[in-house]
Structure 1
Amino acid sequence: MRTLLFLLQKEFRQIFRDKAILRMIFVMPILQLVVLPWAADYEMKNIRLSIVDHDNSPYSQELVHKITASGYFLLNTYTQSFADAMHEVEEDRADLILEIPPRFERTLVRENEATLFMALNAINGVKANLGGAYLRTIIQDYNREVRLNWVQLPRFNPETRIEIVPSNWFNPFMNYQYFMVPGILVILVTLVGSFLTALNIVREKEVGTMEQINVTPIKKHHFILGKLIPFWILGLVVLTVGFFLSWVVYGIVPVGSFVTIYVFAAIYLLAVLGLGLLISSYADSQQQAMLISFFMMMVFILLSGLYTSIDSMPEWAQLVTLLNPVAYFIDVIRLVVLKGAGLSEIRQQLLTIIGFAVVLNAWAVFSYKKRS
């Protein structure tokens, strides 16, 4: 026990002496948590729109006004030439083209229907899809308004109308920050747990102290615990700092219990610490450890459900996410923060993470013994 305490004291001194590690542990997570949620916005704004109006009627001008007043679109050009509007798209000065045909108002009044043409610059697929969806929704709203104006009371409306009243549960204002900030916090905790652990142990190999430790009477499990426990504690500290910043900057307060989050986080950190130890056992230099960690973190982030729903991924990708511990923690932290889930509701994810912790640490210890 005294040996372990001595190793822990030595590790904490070594960590707090290294200013680069301190920046990576505290400064980097704070900056990322403050900056990234503002950039990772699911809403698309400032979509550059070119309108080709061949009609120039009150109805077409009212439609244009409704589109530009929505706040999603910037009117780039308003012209009567489709070739001019297409040139704006080719020069990357416009994202969408809306063409209003001749006699638009006349056709709409006489035949009760009219056709609009919409061209999308699909180089940026996300912007094209969302911009097109926004534009279609605005046109549909305009269509309903026109029809309501035509119905003069007490005239009977022959069309059956179904009115839908939505209710957003757990995130009533659809604030994307409530959805993104917990997920980004999980990524930061993962970086501290796995990435820095791997670099710290590999550094011992590079400076030659690993061989010196191996010939001392220090037991290997004491050495491993001495390496992992400091980063386990620092991971929980980063999580605490992250929740404090989430409250101060974004006003996010978990609906559920902090106990549920910290119980899961404590076990999750054991799993990612085992992953860091596993990386360090196969890497011979910090550069190798960084490249391996970078590759694995990219896979973990892209297949975690942070930016893209797992249900919308291909079947093979959904199977891969079953082996991604980050996906489980992001799912859990969102359930607790937004829905107020308890330990009983996350027991499946909890048991899975316990399995990850056992397997990764056992593999890491076995590999470390074999290579030492």
Structure 2
Amino acid sequence: MLTGVSTRYNDAISDIEKEKADIVLEIPASFDTDMVKERRAKVMISANAVNSTQGLLGNNYLTQIINDYSQELRTELFPASELSDASHIDAVTDYRYNKRLDYKTFMLPAFIVLMMTLICGILPSLNIVIEKETGTIQQINATPVSKFNFILAKLIPYWIIGLVILTLSFLVTWVIYGLLPSGSFATLYISAVVFLLGITGLGIIISNYSDTLQQSMFLVMFFILIIILLSGMFTPVSAMPGWAQAVAYANPLTYFIEIMRLVYLKGSALPDLFKPLMWLTGFAVFFNTWAVLSYKKRG
């Protein structure tokens, strides 16, 4: 679908950076002259290859359209005897942000998020319910510790664990795959802190509502599977049916995976990530407020 026409290449590329377009076709001003005089003209395709599969498919479709147009033009302008020397169009492709269309570059940032989610989402969900089963929660309830301080004390260790996992993941992806983010590590850590606030809060909510360890495990696996599969990790959100897109946009993983990929491949800075960061902040406030309110302190 054509989203716009621009007379300046930089304006068109800006649309890609703002995710208003996925691919740009640049037709030079000398296109007509080159076709007549040189019998050859060049056009340039700039494809957003953050998602390498999507970028490759988009380029292939557009290249096929250009080839069909070139063949049609040659047939109209030249007799059959001259078709071998007739004008043709050369399409030059520039894959932006992922020059070699390396799928690992696209998936590894998402797998880092997956590791953080599995550990920092599951472990908090088992925390309070274990104390319920062992009976130690009654002793805690008898203390003057407020609900806010109690939940905060439960969450801090998992925030630290999450940041350790993130650091180790950076190290592993660099040592084994030679992959480093194009953007700032500070941007990734700030975003990770906000994400961890939300995902650990969700785990505590599940633990608050569970009476047994088994019940908590069933609930957390149910929610974790949903948020992983509907996060855009494996399938672009835009390719999902409407109901799945609605779930994806209400999913903190969707926004953190987007941030990780943008920083790793495009080198995006905090101002560029304002929208997903605001969503993550909203999730963090919502889940942690719910976690504090849902904890019933008795004693």
- TM-score, length of structure 2 as denominator length: 0.70
Once residues 371 and 324 of structure 1 are traced to their aligned partners in structure 2, the CA distance between those partners, rounded to angstroms, is: 32
CA contact (8 A) 1:179 1:334 kept: yes
| Corresponding residue to 1:317 among 216, 225, 244 | 244
Cα distance, 1:370 vs structure 2 = 6.9
| 1:227 counterpart = 2:148 | no
CA contact (8 A) 1:281 1:371 kept: no
Q: Which residue of 1 aligns with 2:177?
A: 250
Once residues 184 and 201 of structure 1 are traced to their aligned partners in structure 2, the CA distance between those partners, rounded to angstroms, is: 28
Structure showing greater radius of gyration is 1
Q: Which residue of 2 aligns with 1:349?
A: 276
| 1:329 counterpart = 2:276 | no
Q: Which amino acid aligns with 1:210?
A: I
Q: Which residue of 2 aligns with 1:45?
A: none
Q: CA RMSD in A?
A: 2.3
Q: Which residue of 1 aligns with 2:189?
A: 262
CA contact (8 A) 1:202 1:286 kept: yes
Unaligned segments of structure 2, at least 5 residues: 1-56, 72-80
Q: Which residue of 2 aligns with 1:215?
A: 142
* SS across alignment from 1:168: strand
Cα distance, 1:221 vs structure 2 = 2.2
Distance of aligned partners of 1:168 and 1:355 in 2 relative to their CA distance in 1, 3 Å threshold = same
Q: Which amino acid aligns with 2:211?
A: D
CA contact (8 A) 1:203 1:285 kept: yes
Cα distance, 1:159 vs structure 2 = 6.0
Once residues 88 and 134 of structure 2 are traced to their aligned partners in structure 1, the CA distance between those partners, rounded to angstroms, is: 75
Once residues 311 and 371 of structure 1 are traced to their aligned partners in structure 2, the CA distance between those partners, rounded to angstroms, is: 46
Once residues 216 and 95 of structure 2 are traced to their aligned partners in structure 1, the CA distance between those partners, rounded to angstroms, is: 44
* SS across alignment from 1:166: strand
Q: Which residue of 1 aligns with 2:112?
A: 185
Cα distance, 1:158 vs structure 2 = 6.7
Q: Which residue of 1 aligns with 2:227?
A: 300
Distance of aligned partners of 1:204 and 1:163 in 2 relative to their CA distance in 1, 3 Å threshold = same
Deviations 1:87-141 (A, max 9, x none): xxxxxxxxxxxxxxxxxxxxxxxxxxxxxxxxxxxxxxxxxxx9xx9xxx9xx9x
Q: Which residue of 1 aligns with 2:19?
A: none
Distance of aligned partners of 1:160 and 1:291 in 2 relative to their CA distance in 1, 3 Å threshold = farther
Q: Which 4+ stretches in 1 moved above 4 angstroms?
A: none
Q: Which residue of 1 aligns with 2:31?
A: none
CA contact (8 A) 2:141 2:297 kept: no
Cα distance, 1:297 vs structure 2 = 1.2
Q: Which residue of 2 aligns with 1:43?
A: none
| 1:285 counterpart = 2:205 | no
| 1:196 counterpart = 2:115 | no
- TM-score, length of structure 1 as denominator length: 0.57
Once residues 89 and 128 of structure 2 are traced to their aligned partners in structure 1, the CA distance between those partners, rounded to angstroms, is: 64
CA contact (8 A) 1:260 1:342 kept: yes
Q: Which amino acid aligns with 1:312?
A: A
Once residues 188 and 303 of structure 1 are traced to their aligned partners in structure 2, the CA distance between those partners, rounded to angstroms, is: 16
Q: Which residue of 2 aligns with 1:96?
A: none
Deviations 1:239-272 (A, max 9, x none): 0000100001111100000011111110110011
Unaligned segments of structure 1, at least 5 residues: 1-129, 145-153
Q: Which residue of 1 aligns with 2:53?
A: none
